[in-house]
Amino acid sequence: MTRITIAKGDGIGPEIMDATLKILKAAGAQIEIDEIEVGEKVYLSGITSGIRNESWDIIRNNKVFLKAPITTPQGGGYKSLNVTTRKFLGLYANVRPCMSLHPFVSTKHPKMDVVIVRENEEDLYAGIEHQQTDEVVQCLKLISRPGCEKIVRYAFEYAKQYGRKKVTCMTKDNIMKQTDGLFREVFNDVAKDYPEIENEHWIVDIGSAKLADTPEDFEVIVTLNLYGDMISDIAAQITGSVGLAGSSNIGEECAMFEAIHGSAPMIAGQGIANPTGLLEGAILMLNHIGQSSVAQKIKNALLTTIEQGIHTADIYKENISKKKVGTIEFAEAVIQNLGKLPSTLTPVDFKNGAALVLPSYIKKPSKTKTLLGIDAFVHWNGIDPNEIAERLQKLDGGLLQLKMITNRGIKVWPEGFKETFCTDHWRCRFQSENQTDVPKEEILKLLRSAMENQIDIVKTENLYAFEGKPAFSLGQGQ
């Protein structure tokens, strides 16, 4: 017996959870259940996280969490429970298998069978945002080497365990050379440990276009958080319906399983929701807790039911479907089919379905770090870059001298274009003439001088070289 935590969530959540649990029980899943309440009611009781402290204890104790979708109330400072749960529990890998069920679910891509492995904790989802000037706000994109290494290794281990032949990495490293560049560098390094698995890289924009056009060319895709969020919805949608996919969120200690869709409030309480997405989440969960034979039995019964044309309204089509059913009738049909194998769709075999066991991340030795200067971000309402440059050149920065000014990343001094539009947010780069380690006192000297001369510095960023190699971007046009 494995003790798991469940939450029935909001909207259609309770209906699809009841249907899912009924199927799990009939299939002989060896689980004991602790139920917690999350979502709308908890939010509206004044808890902005949507979950009570005692519920965290239950989730952390049981380590396995099956969650129905919840409704996040608009405004009011409510935090997304999904994002909070992933980060608090260190659920670094979001895994979403997206497979077509042609010819029983209408899709333009009959041969599609892709798994999206999305980094789940970092990137712009760190949610570190600031307004710095009247006109400019920023969001920090944080990417760590352990974060990249864990998710990339997860993708390769997944491919190895499930007999997949190729792992595709998607980044935008032609533009973000430091952040996306690190993800790709780690991908290239880790790929060397798996010579039997083909690897490739796509720039994410054309890569997602290619995925939407010929998904059969992809097997496992690994990518950063934001791109993964988008790509995984595209992938699920083009199988025929987002209502059919489940996903797992895996950490070193805990794991959470869910449907990928939301709480569908418009159809809540009508008994017509499709429980397949949550059931797919539960199937991933059963594999994770070592009950692969039950998972296999349920998945084959699910495929058989869909193959029999027993469809809920969201996938019902006159010319394909045989019978339109509600949530509970659909669950009952799956139960009737337990033990049967689909005849047109390929039956699943989960003999390798157990949870992946990955090595823990081993910290790398520190590199030699040399301070080369700073980027000082200045709030200034003027429009002529030469004017601000003249004022900054008069500052006493000791070893640090003004080298470049950019506005929204584009070089405007020295020698910018008069056509470049400038906002009130100026990135002013100060470096020492010789490339030696700059003492931090020089920065203080520069900042003090700026303050005395009414220069409004809203943020600074140190410019470092690691092992002698400059580790910061150049200005566009530099």
Measuring CA to CA, which residue among 260, 219, 246, 245 is closest to residue 112? 219
Question: Footprint of ligand NAD on residues 51-70 (CB under 6 A)?
Answer: 69-70
For the chain, how many residues are written? 478
Nearer CB in complex with ligand NAD: 263/432 = 263
Q: Does residue 258 touch ligand NAD according to CB under 6 A? A: yes
| In the complex, least distance from residue 279 CB atom to ligand NAD, rounded to whole angstroms | 10
Burial track 286-303 (b if 16+ CB lie within 10 A, e otherwise): bbbbebbebbbbbbbbbb
Binding-site size, ligand NAD (CB under 6 A)? 20
Nearer CB in complex with ligand NAD: 13/207 = 13
Q: Does residue 274 touch ligand NAD according to CB under 6 A? A: yes
What string of DSSP letters covers 245-279?
-EEEEE-SS-EEEEESS---GGGTTTT----HHHH
Report residue 460 as tokens. Answer: 């600074």
Nearer CB in complex with ligand NAD: 268/356 = 268
Q: Does residue 378 touch ligand NAD according to CB under 6 A? A: no
> Which of 20, 55, 62, 72 contacts ligand NAD by CB under 6 A?
72
The secondary structure element, H or E, covering residue 226 is: helix 225-238
> Which of 114, 220, 267, 333 contacts ligand NAD by CB under 6 A?
267
Residue nearest to ligand NAD (CB): 262
Nearer CB in complex with ligand NAD: 72/168 = 72
Report residue 199 as tokens. Answer: 């690897």
d(C-alpha 301, C-alpha 424), whole Å: 61
Q: Does residue 71 touch ligand NAD according to CB under 6 A? A: yes
Other beta carbons within 10 Å of 410? 17
Backbone φ and ψ for 464, nearest 5 degrees, come out as: -115, 155
Could you give the string, one character per residue 292-321, with x where binding to ligand NAD holds by CB under 6 A and - elsewhere? Answer: ----------------------x-------
Determine the interface stretch with ligand NAD among 148-156, 201-209, 269-277, 458-466 (rule: CB under 6 A): 269-277
Q: Does residue 280 touch ligand NAD according to CB under 6 A? A: no
Q: Does residue 243 touch ligand NAD according to CB under 6 A? A: yes
DSSP H helices in 308-410: 327-336, 385-393
Nearer CB in complex with ligand NAD: 72/370 = 72
Q: Does residue 105 touch ligand NAD according to CB under 6 A? A: no
| In the complex, least distance from residue 8 CB atom to ligand NAD, rounded to whole angstroms | 12
CA angle 446, 447, 453 (to 5 degrees): 90
Q: List the beta strands (DSSP E) in 48-188.
A: 64-67, 93-99, 113-119, 129-131, 137-139, 166-171
Q: Does residue 263 touch ligand NAD according to CB under 6 A? A: yes
Q: Does residue 240 touch ligand NAD according to CB under 6 A? A: no
Q: Does residue 277 touch ligand NAD according to CB under 6 A? A: yes
d(C-alpha 148, C-alpha 448), whole Å: 38
Burial track 69-82 (b if 16+ CB lie within 10 A, e otherwise): bbbbeeeeebeebb
Residues that bind ligand NAD (CB under 6 A): 12, 16, 69-72, 82, 243, 258, 261-267, 273-274, 277, 314
